[in-house]
Structure 1
Amino acid sequence: MPKLPLLFATTPFPTLFFLLILSIFQVISQNLDDERSILLDVKQQLGNPPSLQSWNSSSLPCDWPEITCTDNTVTAISLHNKTIREKIPATICDLKNLIVLDLSNNYIVGEFPDILNCSKLEYLLLLQNSFVGPIPADIDRLSHLRYLDLTANNFSGDIPAAIGRLRELFYLFLVQNEFNGTWPTEIGNLANLEHLAMAYNDKFRPSALPKEFGALKKLKYLWMTQANLIGEIPKSFNHLSSLEHLDLSLNKLEGTIPGGFGKLQNLTGLNLFWNQLSGEIPVNISLIPTLETFKVFSNQLSGVLPPAFGLHSELKRFEVSENKLSGELPQHLCARGVLLGVVASNNNLSGEVPKSLGNCRSLLTIQLSNNRFSGEIPSGIWTSPDMIWVMLAGNSFSGTLPSKLARNLSRVEISNNKFSGPIPAEISSWMNIAVLNASNNMLSGKIPMELTSLRNISVLLLDGNQFSGELPSEIISWKSLNNLNLSRNKLSGPIPKALGSLPNLNYLDLSENQFSGQIPPELGHLTLNILDLSFNQLSGMVPIEFQYGGYEHSFLNDPKLCVNVGTLKLPRCDAKVVDSDKLSTKYLVMILIFVVSGFLAIVLFTLLMIRDDNRKNHSRDHTPWKVTQFQTLDFNEQYILTNLTENNLIGRGGSGEVYRIANNRSGELLAVKKICNNRRLDHKFQKQFIAEVEILGTIRHSNIVKLLCCISNESSSLLVYEYMEKQSLDRWLHGKKQRTTSMTSSVHNFVLDWPTRLQIAIGAAKGLCHMHENCSAPIIHRDVKSSNILLDAEFNAKIADFGLAKMLVKQGEADTMSGVAGSYGYIAPEYAYTTKVNEKIDVYSFGVVLLELVTGREPNSRDEHMCLVEWAWDQFKEEKTIEEVMDEEIKEQCERAQVTTLFSLGLMCTTRSPSTRPTMKEVLEILRQCSPQEGHGRKKKDHEAAPLLQNGTYPATYKHSEKESDNEDDDNFI
């Protein structure tokens, strides 16, 4: 038996045990002290960011929120979203047991961090930063690496072959970078790989899918959207037996869909949309027992749809639109009762809609537009409890409009069919309908009063039918209506003056009817992008607001109309007035009697009203004005009130009047928005007023209009802003026809050049980014449009009109609004059918503004009968060059790369799915890279100025905000 050391031989066991434990604690304590020193040094080299204030010398690292310890040693560091901007020091690898390093969602610049000496590292997360340069060629030194995510950076060059030697890797995400090589076939050696994502890398040289990827037997998830893939899908992919989700969308893949895909018995999602695939859909795909999502829209597929779809799996999403498919829809799509949507528009499909879909109570949408379907729609489709969209335009459907709709149904598009009969009186129960397009059918009868009670309707298109009679004189609830088209019917009688009270109406077409009488002056209160009253029987003077050149096509073939001012080619009203000397004495006396009688009646009525008001509202008349001050003021409320005169009035809108007032002390111009001039504040206007005050009163930013104060009592509410000299972007781009200021005439003499447009885009993006990212709770504007982007004397852009904005209660959580707000042409598609609100609706609207800046087109194009977004995406699909889409006025003095970038960015901001849109932070970053004055980080050469440029045309790429795109939430139909 070996001898024990003298200390152990002579020391009692309890004491020995105590000394042993003490020794262990001393070792642990010394180790933690050393690790604390390392981490404090790391913190110092990171610039002592405030987000790491808990890192101090008086506590142990294991108590710091960003640190995880195992067995009293640091094993994980999570610096996610800590606003870190400095390079990560190599000394971080002095933590010998570090397994997890999470640096995601920061602003770190420079090349790949110097961490290859972190020998035990298993999880490395660098996503959402500004790293540049190549991935190290010897990255396989991190031999224990199992999880690597480099998404949304600026890494470039080739993906090194050494990645194929990281044999423990099970998760590899290289999404959205600037790699410009080819896909390394060595990735096929990663036998343990389960998740592989290399989407949104369109700078890669066009290359085929490596057939070696077919060897990844454990691969469950493969995402290669927009990766510049060409050629055919390798037959080796038939051997990916573990594959659950395959996404090869937005590429240029050709050939057929491999028939062997039917062998992938674990496949839940197959996304091959937006390619150039041809041939028939293999029948055995419809037999996969796990298939939930099948998306092959926007290809060149032909033949009939396999009839077994839905029979053998819990099919949820079936999207085959924009192909060359024929035959009938599969009869059993909803056999398992979980089908969410059928999207089969723009094919050659025929027959009737399967009756089984009428019994499918899980449906959210059915989209069958532009096919050759016929027959009646199964009644259950209209009433399916969760249905939100029914889009059946461009077929030969017949029958009548349903008397009852599903509670959540918000969009019905049935134009260009054979529907007939009247609008049912029960239409008043369609309370959540936002879009109703029934143009070009055989509907008849009168427009019922019940139709005017739809409070959420924003688009109502009934043109090209056989409606007759007069319009309802009272419009109860059309406060959200943007677009009203009743043209090409047989409507008669007067135009209701109540149309002039609709606050959001900006598109009105009543042409080719039999309307008579005068045009109501109340229509002049509207801000209309489109007005068409042509081919009617109207008479009298055109409202003064429409007597200018922009409305020269609005009154064609209405010979009894006249004007007194402006440039319309109509007779002058004063030329039709008969000289008073020629009037008979009899008529003069009659006129005099009527005038005097009317005057006396008005005086009497006024006196009675004053007496009644004095009795009922005496105390309220003397309610004092309340001033809420947000800036230092050198004027008082009395000065503002006394200057609310007609001479200072510069505009009217749905929510009140706007005045321009000069501060005689400072010389500063003020804009005063009068919310309501009635005694009792309308509830909606009151809510808008409160929202605007609460939001603008709490935020300060150079690209958000400055609210100086608010002034209110029980009968009026005023908001006092800084005055924006150049008014709105809308006027400069589209030459709005209001002639309220002398500035307006200069709109037509000054072309908004490209550098100014780019400056405006960046400024507006800064304002929205601040609202979304930097406020204590994200602020959603809800009505972003060019008329709400105001310009100061130097054309600096500022976001304005927050009456529709909503502050989210919890960051990252969608809030529910009581109704759809916004302006037609700018409204995100999901906002038209759901009340869920998040920042992505603002991103969509801003994308429309970007498209306006590039193309010079208005958001609603009367000529093409489509909105700007639809037109822009059509140009993209037709592979038009940027010269073919850009505004003629900027062609001579713009940088093509910059214009291409803005157009591409506008497209990606306006994708149908909110999850695929960039955030405003990402939008701003891309815009800044376009501007020499704004650029930061890596300096780009001239030919690199457009990060989205591809082959002289415009790709549709961007810095995607989500870490991965599980297209389960990326629905083409939602």
Structure 2
Amino acid sequence: MFKLALPFLFFLFLSLSIPLKVISQDINSERTLLLNLKQQLGDPPSLASWNASSSPCGWPEIFCVNDSVTQLYLSDKNIVVRIPPTICDLKNLTYLDLSWNYIPGEFPTMLYNCSKLQYLDLSQNYFVGQIPDDIHRLSTLTYLDIGGNNFSGNIPPTIGRLSELQTLFIYQNLLNGTFPKEIGDLSNLEKLGLAYNDFIPMEIPQEFAQLRKLKFLWMIETNLIGEIPEFFNNFSSLEHLNLAGNNLVGGIPSQLLSLKNLTHFYLYHNKLSGEIPRPVEALGLVEIDLSMNNFTGTIPEEFGKLQSLVFFNIFSNRFTGELPPGMDRLPNLTTFRVFRNKLTGFLAPEFGLHSKLGEFDVSENQFSGQLPENLCAAGVLAGLVAHTNNLSGQVPKSLGNCRALRTFQLQNNKFSENDFSGEIPPEIGNLIPTFLNLSSNRLTGRIPYQLNNLAFERSFLNNSGLCSDDPVLSLPSCSYKPSGPKKLSSKLVAMIVALALLASLVILLLTLFVVRDYRRKKRERYLSAWKLTSFHRLDFTEGNILSNLTENNLIGSGGSGKVYRITVNRADENMSLVEWAWQNFSEDKPIVEMLDPQITEPTHLEEMIMVYKIGIVCTRASPATRPSMKEVVHVLRGYCPPDENGARKLGSDFDVAPLMGSATYLSGNNKRSKRDDSDSIIYNVV
């Protein structure tokens, strides 16, 4: 039994090893083929990873199945030569991408030899000439993209024989003939792109009705004429429809917006008319552009429920009525351009609050009310255009935070004006938009200094309340305003009131100062009228006085100054004036005898006696018993000169004589006192 098993195992080993050897030989031969292809393509640096020491299945541009090359990705490899015929020696090649290179020449018919080729992308190269009539020989293709080249002439009818084709892109060429109705025979076609070709004007062929699997139709600027066929209502799989930039007329097919898979809808720049058909069941719409047509009627209310809507353009039509409720709350809306219609009503206040609004253009309509405050809530608003409406109120200050704002227009044109008022928010000066127009409003105040340049020379016309610090804008100078009736702003009124109050306060203070100064001068004039008469002739100099102004000689101080005791010598005796006065007073000598004999005017005798007595009291030995300067001044002021009838105002309140009884004087070791029943001067003058 063991003898029978041995031949069987040997046969099994041979059976397994032969296929491995064949596979190894195939991958080696494909590596050699690819290295030769690299040389034929000019050995571009982008293919440096292709080498003889590694398996092709590990190269970035290669995809293998069962160790055989099936897909070749050569997009954007800087290839500048024609495609080598040897490329089809890769027998299992199904996928070939040569897009975004510089490949010249005519359509590479040698690719017909790639018998298993399903995906062919030759877009964005330099191919020229006509599309070959025998292109149907690429019979296994499901994907063909030859867009972005220089092919010219017609699209051959034989292209309709590529029965497996699911995607056909021939956009952006120099085709100037026709596109064949036979394209309608491509029953498996899902994506068709013929855009940006200068075809002979023609209608959409009726045969296209057979394209029931169509999801993507891109025929912008292809010289289409006539109406959009009603069979478009049957394209239930349609997601993307772009027929913009043609000469289509008529209306939108009645059921087109009932296609629930429709997400992108572009019909702009045609000659279409009529109303937008209802009902709108394509609630997954992401982008809508119906601009530059002749549409009329109102905007469907369903548009306010398009939660996925990002891009909304319906400008340059004749739409009327108000905006649908809810459009300001759409969470994904970034572009909203409805200008040049006949729309009315208010702009909903929540625009910009729920989405990253980048473009907002509602100009040349009949909107009223205020501009929405939250347009730049997300901080990405780049364009704000609202001119030629009936809008009023102030420019929202929040716009000053729109760092991305580049276009800002609130001006008028030949039809009408807006009515914005108030000052231009200073923060707008920090934006430096590339285009700014606030003309023909009722704006007031100073132009932000950042906008004082020639770039904005015509941005502020017909705003009589605006001024500028720079004459370059041809606006009145802010330092001069022409006279005339005008409504003052609240800030200006507040400023005027504040200045008036300040001026009143200054005037009041000045008045108080003048009155006080007047009283002081009057008092000085009154005091200066007194005639000073010396009591005794003394022989001393200024030096004798100044040398005695020391703290030891300080008698007392008060609010008006200090009193010092000055010791001077008489010519005939060695005694101070104070000691001499107290000696005579203690000896009960008459005061009259102590006066200077040269004083011969009896009219001032009583005043001199009063001053003598006050001097005695003010030179008491104990400072505590001396009156204050205030009390002395009070007594002196109370002792007035005779009135016009000769009467004196003396009275007991100002009589100093009874106050002398308690005076005490100490001189050396001797103590003398003179007492009286009356109180001291202090209690008589208070």
TM class by shorter-chain length?
0.5 to 0.7
Partner of 1:465: 463
Cα distance, 1:325–1:30 mapped onto 2, change above 3 Å: same
Report the Cα offset of residue 39 of structure 1: 2.6
Which residue of 471, 491, 496 corresponds with 2:477?
491
Match of 1:885 in 2: none
Looking at structure 2, the residues matched to 382 and 75 of structure 1 have their Cα atoms a distance apart, in angstroms, of: 52
Residue in 2 that maps onto 1:296: 290
Task: Please give the per-residue CA displacement for 1:498-537, whole angstroms capped at 9, x wherever unaligned.
Answer: xxxxxxxxxxxxxxx99xxxxxxxxxxxxxxxxxxxxxxx
Q: Give the Cα–Cα distance (whole angstroms) in 2 for the partners of residues 225 and 254 of structure 1.
A: 15
RMSD of the TM alignment (CA)? 2.9
1:172 aligns with 2:185: no
1:12 Cα deviation (Å)?
4.5
2:415 is the counterpart of 1:419: no
C-alpha distance in 1 between matches for 2:126 and 2:40: 18
Q: What is the TM-score of this pair, normalised by structure 1?
A: 0.45
| Counterpart-to-counterpart distance in 1, 2:181 and 2:279 | 29
Distance 1:91-1:13 versus aligned 2 partners, 3 A rule: same
* Distance (whole Å) between structure 1 residues aligned to residue 202 and residue 27 of structure 2: 51
- Is the partner of 1:254 in helix, strand or coil? strand
Q: Give the structure 2 partner of residue 319 of structure 1.
A: 313
Any residues of structure 2 matched to 1:801-816 within 5 Å, and which? none
Task: Output one character per residue of 1:736-780: Cα deviation in whole Å (capped at 9) or x when no partner.
Answer: xxxxxxxxxxxxxxxxxxxxxxxxxxxxxxxxxxxxxxxxxxxxx
1:52–1:380 distance in 2 versus 1, CA, 3 Å: closer
Deviations 1:126-173 (A, max 9, x none): 011111122232222222211111111112222222322222222211
Q: Which position in structure 2 is the counterpart of 1:345?
A: 339
Equivalent in the alignment of 1:671: none
List alignment gaps of at least 5 residues for structure 2.
483-686
**% identical aligned pairs:** 44
* Within-5 A mapping of 1:312-711: 313-357=307-351, 359-381=353-375, 383=377, 385-405=379-399, 406-408=401-403, 410=405, 411-416=407-412, 417-423=417-423, 427-428=426-427, 431-432=430-431, 434=433, 435-447=435-447, 451-452=448-449, 459=456, 461-467=459-465, 471-472=468-469, 486-487=473-474, 489-491=475-477
- Look up the match of 1:573: none
Query: What is the one-letter code of the residue matched to 1:491?
Result: S
Partner of 1:117: 113
| Corresponding residue number in structure 1 for 2:31 | 36
Letter in 2 for 1:278: S
Deviations 1:309-334 (A, max 9, x none): 12255322221111222222223324
Instruction: Report the secondary structure of 2:17's partner residue.
Output: helix
Match of 1:264 in 2: 259
Cα distance in 1 between the residues matched to 2:189 and 2:27: 35
Deviation, 1:176, is 0.8
Pairs within 5 Å for 1:773-788: none
Describe the superposition over 1:308-363 as per-residue Cα deviations: whole angstroms up to 9, x where unpaired.
Answer: 31225532222111122222222332444322222011122223223453754443
Between stretches 303-312 and 263-272, larger displacement belongs to 303-312
Alpha-carbon spacing, 1:409–1:170, altered in 2? closer, same or farther (3 Å): same
Contact 1:269 1:294 in 2 (8 A): yes
Partner of 2:186: 190
Q: Indicate the SS of the match to 1:337.
A: coil
Deviation of 1:10 (Å): 7.6
Residue identity in the other structure for 1:270: F
> Computing the radius of gyration over CA atoms, which structure comes out larger, 1 or 2?
2
Alignment correspondent of 1:201? 197
Q: CA deviation at 1:62?
A: 2.3
How far the C-alpha of 1:71 sits from its partner, in A, is 0.4
The answer on 1:45 being equivalent to 2:40 is: yes
Cα distance in structure 1, aligned partners of 2:59 and 2:150: 31
TM-score, structure 2 normalization:
0.64
Task: Please say if residues 453 and 472 of structure 2, whose CA atoms lie closer than 8 Å, have aligned partners that are also in contact.
Answer: no
Shift in Å, 1:196? 1.4
Provide the C-alpha distance between the structure 1 equivalents of 2:71 and 2:466, rounded to a whole number of angstroms: 74
Letter in 1 for 2:257: G
SS of alignment partner, residue 69 of structure 2: strand
Query: In the alignment, what sits opposite 1:720?
Result: none
State how far apart, in whole Å, the 2-side matches of 1:420 and 1:309 are: 30
* Closer, same or farther: CA 225–485 of 1 in aligned 2, 3 Å: farther
Distance in 1 between residues matched to 2:333 and 2:245, nearest whole Å: 25
SS at match of 1:324: coil
Amino acid at match of 1:441: N
Q: Is the 8 A contact 1:400 1:420 kept in 2?
A: yes
Judge conservation of contact 1:197–1:222 (CA < 8 Å) in 2.
yes
Alignment of 1:551-950 (within 5 A): none
- Give the one of 86, 93, 98 matched to 2:88: 93
- 1:741 equivalent in structure 2: none
CA distance in 1, matches of 2:106, 2:259: 40
C-alpha distance after superposition, 1:868-927 (max 9, x if no partner)? xxxxxxxxxxxxxxxxxxxxxxxxxxxxxxxxxxxxxxxxxxxxxxxxxxxxxxxxxxxx
CA contact (8 A) 1:244 1:266 kept: yes
Matches within 5 A, 1:7-22: 11-22=6-17
Matched residue SS, 1:366: strand
The one-letter amino acid paired with 1:375 is G
Match of 2:494 in 1: none
The alpha-carbon distance between structure 1 residues 356 and 48, as it changes in their structure 2 partners (threshold 3 A), is closer
The one-letter amino acid paired with 2:441 is: N
Deviation at 1:301?
1.7
Conserved? CA contact 1:404–1:429, under 8 Å: no
Does the CA contact (< 8 Å) of 1:407 and 1:431 recur in 2? no
Q: What is the CA–CA distance in structure 2 between the aligned matches of 1:436 and 1:153, rounded to whole Å? A: 40
Q: 2:77 aligns with which of 79, 82, 90?
A: 82
User: What is the Cα deviation at residue 48 of structure 1?
Assistant: 3.5
What residue number does 1:153 align with?
149
Deviations 1:69-111 (A, max 9, x none): 1101111112211222222122221211101111111111111
Take 2:372 and 2:479, find their aligned partners in 1: how far apart are those partners? 37
CA contact (8 A) 1:279 1:302 kept: yes
Give the match for residue 631 of structure 1.
none
Aligned to 1:228: 223
The amino acid across from 1:166 in the alignment is: L
Letter in 1 for 2:118: E
Corresponding residue SS for 1:381: coil
Corresponding pairs, count: 471
Amino acid at match of 1:252: N
2: distance between equivalents of 1:194 and 1:459? 51
Q: 1:53 to 1:365 in 2, by over 3 A?
A: closer
Instruction: Please state whether the residue corresponding to 2:327 is helix, strand or coil.
Output: coil
- Report deviation, 1:433: 5.2
Unaligned runs of 5+ in 1: 1-7, 474-483, 495-512, 515-974
Residue pair 1:433, 1:457 contacting (<8 A) in 2 also: no
The change in CA–CA distance for 1:164 and 1:456 in structure 2 (over 3 A counts) is farther
1:463-497 CA deviation, whole Å, 9 max, x = no partner?
2201355x347xxxxxxxxxx9734x443659xxx
CA distance in 2, matches of 1:490, 1:457: 16
In the aligned structure 1, how far is the partner of 2:151 from the partner of 2:256?
A: 33
Structure 1 384/454 Cα, relative in aligned 2: closer, same or farther at 3 Å?
Answer: farther
Deviations 1:250-284 (A, max 9, x none): 11111111122123111011001111112222233
